[in-house]
Structure 1
Amino acid sequence: MKNFLLIISMVTLSLCVSCGSSEENSIEDDLVVQDVNNQYGDTTVAFPKLSPEAEAEISNWSVFDDFQNEMNSLNGSTISEIRNKTERLKLFTDSLSKKIPETLATQPITSRLLVVRSRVYLLDQEAKKSRVDSLSIEEHLKELTSASINFYRQIDEKFHKARIDQEREDDEKKELEKQKRFLDSVYQAELRDQQN
């Protein structure tokens, strides 16, 4: 009888344990389904507007528009959308780094592009994991967005610096011209004094 009670209690205990684990599996399945519908990223982030000079140069960089459009739509995406978009972003950043226009092929711009490319690959790697870590996805998305903003700013800054350098050069030419006219007038005045 004691053995019978012991066997019944073990069977009952194993049933309780197995029912509890199926309930936990059900909860995990619900979380996975919930994660698929979650939207990641900050949809309020605005990427900087490039100056007209930068826009003109970027228009010669064929893949940049595709990259920019994909980045603009990345925040607020679900995990499946992020997986698709990071695949495209990997292609775009690879292409961008291979075909940098000569005027943009400066060390700061190529460095920022390399950081963006690395962030795209890290986000893609995280998004393709079998168990999605929402916090990690959010962090990688935030870092990619920040790297892209820095990349845009660096492009714009290059043209801003070029504009400042051009203005400085123009000012120096005007100053030299002004000094030359002054020296010419002094020379003319001395000639007149000598003739008188």
Structure 2
Amino acid sequence: MKFIAILLLLSSVLIISCNDDKTTISEIEVSEKTNEDKKITASTIEGIAYKDYALSPEAHQEIIPWTQYHELSTQIDFLKKGDFSFFNEENADLLKFIKDFKSNLPETLKTNPIISRNAIIETSLLKLNEYLTLDNIDRKDKLLGIKEVFVAFSNLNYQINKKLERDMYNDIQPE
């Protein structure tokens, strides 16, 4: 009696295990597709919608001595092409860059709105760094982090333009 029960148990395990070959193949195909979907390419980044403000000619003159701004602008251009090397750096290197970015802000641009935009850029850069260095972050969250960096930098440009335009109107004297 025990022998028949053991034989039935073994035969049922054998029948069930024979069916697993097809499911493992489909699981491998699904995992390959999801790995391809997790890659973020330049075309994916180009599809991110946001308002991109450019600097006015007057603003370009004001930021000439601010080398960290130029470096960040260059790195954001690389990010738009899918190069994450600057944003994947060690956290200490990124913190040093952010510290220099904030400390070398030209005196003419040290207003509360621009300083607050710098803080937002700092937050978005650190957040993107964490998203890109951790493996368990979803692709949509990484794309959201990239968009936040783009928006923060664009808003900084907008605030710089707005400040210089306001200064220009304040310098106009009534006749």
Q: TM-score range by the shorter chain?
A: 0.7 to 0.9
The equivalent of 2:69 in structure 1 is 64
Write out the 4+ residue segments of structure 1 that deviate beyond 6 Å after TM superposition.
Answer: none
2: CA distance between counterparts of 1:55 and 1:74? 21
The equivalent of 2:12 in structure 1 is 9
Q: Does 1:159 align with 2:164?
A: yes
Aligned positions of 1:175-194 closer than 5 A: none
The equivalent of 1:42 in structure 2 is 46
The equivalent of 1:31 in structure 2 is 34
Amino acid at match of 1:42: E
Structure 2, unmatched stretches of 5+, are none
Give 1:34 deviation, angstroms.
Answer: 4.2
The equivalent of 1:121 in structure 2 is 126
1: CA distance between counterparts of 2:64 and 2:17? 68
Structure 1, unmatched stretches of 5+, are 175-196
CA contact (8 A) 1:61 1:100 kept: yes
2: CA distance between counterparts of 1:152 and 1:32? 36
Amino acid at match of 1:41: I
Aligned positions of 1:168-179 closer than 5 A: 170-171=173-174, 174=175
CA contact (8 A) 1:119 1:140 kept: yes
Report the secondary structure of 1:50's partner residue.
coil
CA contact (8 A) 1:35 1:132 kept: no
Q: Which has the higher helix share?
A: 1
1: CA distance between counterparts of 2:86 and 2:71? 11
The equivalent of 2:110 in structure 1 is 105
1:52 pairs, out of 41, 48, 57, with: 57
What RMSD over aligned residues (CA atoms) do the two structures have, in Å? 2.7
1: CA distance between counterparts of 2:116 and 2:40? 35
Give 1:48 deviation, angstroms.
Answer: 2.2
CA contact (8 A) 2:102 2:118 kept: yes
1: CA distance between counterparts of 2:121 and 2:102? 10
1: CA distance between counterparts of 2:98 and 2:52? 17
1: CA distance between counterparts of 2:40 and 2:110? 40
Query: How many aligned positions are there?
Result: 166
The equivalent of 1:75 in structure 2 is 80
2: CA distance between counterparts of 1:96 and 1:50? 17
Instruction: Provide the TM-score with structure 2 as the length reference.
Output: 0.79
CA contact (8 A) 2:68 2:97 kept: yes
The equivalent of 2:87 in structure 1 is 86
